[in-house]
Amino acid sequence: MDEADVSIEAYKKLRNSIPPIGFLSQKKRVIAFLRVTKLAQQMIDEQKISEDNALYLLSTLARKCAPFHKAVMMTALHLANINRKQIQPVGFKYANNMRCNMQMLPIDDDI
């Protein structure tokens, strides 16, 4: 399997792992983000994909999947209020970068 096939399979797994986000439910949206980024981190830890590839896949998923985009935005907005131990490193990095894209101050990455 070449790198493109691996990326496509990883994208499909991430896409299929998105739970329902509810109607304006902050909790469900953050949970959805945490679930997807936990799976992405597992793939990184198992060396199935690189961190850069995971960040790219999360970005693509946010553009192509409205529920995940809403989950990302909610998580980025409330990142300072989320227990840092609950969020995976790749998820924290992605949400923090999203905060910067929204012209918000980044959150310190100290645990």
- Please name the residue that has the structure tokens 């990302």: 72
Read off the tokens for 94: 């992605």
Name the average pLDDT for the chain. Answer: 93
pTM of the predicted model as reported, rounded to 2 decimal places: 0.91
Measured between alpha carbons, how far is residue 96 from residues 22, 78, 87, 88 in Å?
23, 10, 11, 12
- Whether 49 maps to a domain, the answer reads yes
pLDDT higher than 90, residue 1: no
Rounded to whole angstroms, the Cα distance separating 54 from 65 reads 16
Determine, yes or no, domain membership for 77: yes
36, HSE (Cβ side, Cα atoms, 13 Å)? 37
96 falls within a domain: yes
CA distance 95 to 37: 10
The pLDDT value recorded for residue 2 is 80
| Contact by Cβ (8 Å): 97, 90 | no
* Within a domain: 106: no
The number of distinct structural domains making up the chain is: 1
Residue 111 lies in a domain: no
What sign has the CA pseudo-torsion 90, 95, 97, 98? Answer: positive
Residue 88, domain extent = 3-101
AA identity, residue 101: N
* Within-domain flag for 63: yes
Q: Does pLDDT of 52 surpass 60? A: yes
109 inside domain: no
Per-residue model confidence as pLDDT tens digits over 64-104: 999 999 999 999 999 999 999 999 999 999 999 999 999 98
Cα(82)–Cα(15) distance, integer angstroms: 23
